[in-house]
């Protein structure tokens, strides 16, 4: 009588481990994505700040681009945590172009909103 109980216990334990393992793997995956997206946004901030350093150029179009990149760097700094959460939640993936597309859309939507508030 003791052997069937042990076998049933082992089967139930094995099934419980199988059922719990996707949850553990998903949380590990989310942690890795959070770290990846955070580093990606930090790199974007660094690039924007580098491009923004051209704000003293003699050419107007370069000054405008520098101003835009400074605004984008500020936006990314202010909203980094929120953006990382959204990227993970929306399952954007790790392809550069998809992440850039999402970040650019968020930035330019905020710019459009700010312009609408200033010019109703």
Is residue 23 scored above 60 in pLDDT?
A: no
d(CA 87, CA 45): 16
Of 119, 24, 120, 84, nearest to 106 by C-alpha is 84
The residue ranking higher by pLDDT, 64 or 1, is 64
pLDDT score, position 114: 84
Q: What is the residue extent of each domain of the chain?
A: 29-118
pLDDT > 70: what percent of the chain?
Answer: 80
To 10 degrees, what angle do helices 60-89 and 2-52 make? 170
Segment 32-91, tens digit of pLDDT: 999 999 999 999 999 999 999 998 889 989 999 999 999 999 999 999 999 999 999 999
CB-based contact 37:9 (threshold 8 Å): no
């Amino acid at each position: 009588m003791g052997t069937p109980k042990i076998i049933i216990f082992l089967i139930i334990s094995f099934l419980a481990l199988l059922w719990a393992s996707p949850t553990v793997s998903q949380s590990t995956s989310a942690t890795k994505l959070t770290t990846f997206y955070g580093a990606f946004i930090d790199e974007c901030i660094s690039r924007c700040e580098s491009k923004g350093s051209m704000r003293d150029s003699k050419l107007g179009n370069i000054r405008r681009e520098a101003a835009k990149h400074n605004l984008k760097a500020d936006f990314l700094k202010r909203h980094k945590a929120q953006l990382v959460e959204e990227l993970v939640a929306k399952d954007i993936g790790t392809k550069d172009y998809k992440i850039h597309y999402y970040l650019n859309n968020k930035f330019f939507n905020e710019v459009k909103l700010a312009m609408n508030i200033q010019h109703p």
